[in-house]
Amino acid sequence: MNGSRTNPNAPKDVYQDYDIVYVVEKFETFIADINWIDIFGDRLMLQMPEAMRYPSGKGHFNWMMLFTDGNRLDLTLIPIQKLELIGNDSLSTALMDKDGILPPFPKASENDYIIKPPFELFYLSCCNNFWWCLQNVAKGIARNELPYAMLMFHNVVREELHNMVAWYIGTITDFTVSTGKIGKYFKRFLPTEVYEQYLLTYSDSDYNNMWKTVFNASGLFSFLAIHVADHCGYYYNKQDEDNMRIYLNNVKNNVYSETSCRR
């Protein structure tokens, strides 16, 4: 078993998945006729990632099942000939090994998922890309291109913000904790006032509110990035921030459009 159910620090609730791995001898027979998975219960929905448009091609097969009782089972089959696919994830525990073929697993822990201090290049790249890509968000808003602005902000800019949030949490916890998948434990580790700032980086589709979230995210990122830089002994390029803030305000106030019209 892998995942949160092996993690002693994960909150326990009714929504935790069961991440189970079987090692089997006749791998192909399980894939040829999948009716055998019905034995697990009545399903609401099934997904088979390796049978979809972007299969991993690693040699395993996965059934992701949601049942009528609310439980979810992510079941992975690995052929016995490819035991290396089991890997060495720190959140792993052997439930049964009747043939004595599994590698020894140390006691399950979050070791593989604990926040690591950023290398300087990663830190500098994160800062640069955060500020650089905000110009794209601004242009999307100015052009009334909502899907572009939203996706650029939430898929690109927010990823850099998430990295900085995680590093900040690392600095205040001596890099001893995990923030969970996609930052799901941010609330647990961030000071209340910082988490409240983070909540203000989400917006609806109203452009005025989007501008507010852009500037809220800018203020939060600046605070976090300066703190991380001080902790790690890195240089924070405040000039990039100041210049991009000028650009964002100019776009918001239609300064460039007015200049172009005058010309």
Output the CATH code of domain 114-262. Answer: 1.20.120.330
Confidence of residue 57 (pLDDT cuts 50, 70, 90): confident
Read off the pLDDT of residues 147-194 as tens digits, 9 standing for 90 and up.
999 999 999 999 999 999 999 999 999 999 999 999 999 999 999 999
CATH topology of domain 4-112: Beta Polymerase; domain 2 (3.30.460)
**Domain spans, the chain:** 4-112, 114-262
Q: What is the pTM of this model?
A: 0.90
pLDDT, residue 256, reads 87
H helix or E strand, kind and range, residue 79: strand 72-79
pLDDT, residue 87, reads 86
